[in-house]
Amino acid sequence: MDIVVANLTQVFGAASRPVVALDRVTHTFPSQRFTCILGPSGCGKSTLAQIVGGIEPFTSGSVTIGGKGSAAQPLGTHSVMVWQHLNLFPWRTVIDNVAFGLEMQGVPTAERHQRADALLTSVGLRGFEQHRPPQLSGGMRQRVALARALIMERPIMLMDEPFAALDAQTKIVMQEELVRIYERSKMTILFVTHAIDEAILLGDEVVVMTARPGRIKEVIPVNLPRPRSQEMINTPEFGRLYDRALHLIREEVLLSMRQQQEATAGST
């Protein structure tokens, strides 16, 4: 299922002092591909993912999901979100967090636990079914969040800086886990990040966004072979892509920092 975004504009705040988060963003995220959205903080990349997921409304433009001929359905029915802050339910056990979506659909306990068990095993959390999220490490909580999204079996997975809070080593392990899941499942993935190496390592293409107002600055195709692994970071091709993205993003980051400084100075 392609995700076709056309002239998407998102304006926050009062009419007197509007903040343009997204400015006429147009892009087709191809079906079954892994697209990374890279941009400085505050550029509206999370907003874009949330709009595609039907979580936030938007001001104007259009977002269409689905192949040719199929009727357009409301946003959110084909996608599932993995959140930056995970948003796990702390009062639920790990297995009941993972099975939440099925429980809401009315799937009987035995069946949904069986399916959740299978997923927990595949993400390496066997034996932690009855723990609660606050008892787990950051990497383990991340796996729970991933399993909770995967159990929905929706064709599109939206990921909003999911690994930003992890330590460097755990991040590497989770990236490899995600690559493995993607290469097996062939979902369509939109992965929001501000880390250049992460975007290139994971994505089939990297959409680089400008500082506010968020526009698409350039789309970098990533032709590194799959299966991907961390060793590819040392290849000349990776280095070339990294330099390209760094060059594009540097001026946007500087611009974004200047904007934030002005905003801080203006508010005090």
Partner 1 sequence: MNAGAQRQSRTKAVIYWAAPYLVIAAVLVAWELAVRLNGIAPIFLPAPSVILKYLFAMTVDGSMPYHLSVTFLRILVGFSVAAIAGVLVGIAMGMSPLTARIFEPWIGALYPLPKISLIPLLIIWLGTGESYKIVISAVTAFFPVVISTFAAIRQVDTGLMKAAKDLGANTRQIQYNVVIPAALPGIFSGLQLGMGVTMIMIVAAEMIGGTSDSGMGYLLIHAGQVLETEKVFAGLIVLAIFGAVITSAQKRIDHLIAPWAHREH
Contacts with partner 1, 95-114, as mask; x by CB under 8 A:
-----xx-xxx---------
Alpha helices in 53-191 (DSSP H): 94-98, 100-105, 109-122, 138-150, 168-185
Compute the distance between CA of residue 34 and CA of residue 10 in angstroms, rounded to an integer.
Answer: 24
Should residue 184 be labelled a site residue for partner 1 when binding is judged by CB under 8 A?
no
x/- mask, partner 1, residues 47-86, rule CB under 8 A, reads: ------xxx--------------------x---xx-x-x-
Phi, psi values for residue 84, rounded to 5°: -60, -40
CB of 266 to partner 1, least distance (A): 27
Identify which range of 62-70, 130-138, 175-183, 253-261 contacts partner 1 by CB under 8 A.
130-138
Region of 32 please: left (phi>0), alpha (psi -120 to 50) or beta. Answer: left
Rounded Cα distance between 58 and 22, Å, is: 9
134 binding partner 1? (CB under 8 A)? yes
> What sign does the dihedral 166-209-83-227 (CA atoms) show?
negative
Contact present, 120 and 167 (Cβ < 8 Å): no
The residue among 55 and 195 lying less far from partner 1, judged by its C-beta, is: 55
Q: Give the shortest CB-164-to-partner 1 separation in angstroms.
A: 15
Could you tell me if 105 and 151 are in contact, meaning their C-beta atoms sit under 8 angstroms apart? no
Of 11, 19, 136, 152, which lies in the binding site for partner 1, with binding defined by CB under 8 A? 152
Q: Which is nearer to partner 1, 157 or 201 (CB)?
A: 157
Q: According to the binding rule CB under 8 A, does residue 89 interact with partner 1?
A: yes
- CB 131 → partner 1: shortest distance, Å? 11
CA distances from 174 to 23, 70, 77, 129, 241 (A): 32, 35, 26, 19, 22
As measured in angstroms, the least distance from the Cβ of 39 to partner 1 is 21
Check residue 266 for interaction with partner 1 (CB under 8 A). no
To partner 1, the closest distance from the beta carbon of 110 in angstroms equals: 19
Of how many residues is the chain composed?
Answer: 268
| CB closer to partner 1, 102 vs 222 | 102
Nearer to partner 1, 43 or 149 (CB): 149
3-class DSSP assignment, residue 17: coil
Q: Do residues 140 and 126 make contact, with C-beta atoms less than 8 angstroms apart? A: no
- Site residues (vs partner 1, CB under 8 A): 53-55, 76, 80-81, 83, 85, 87, 89-92, 100-101, 103-105, 132, 134-135, 148, 152
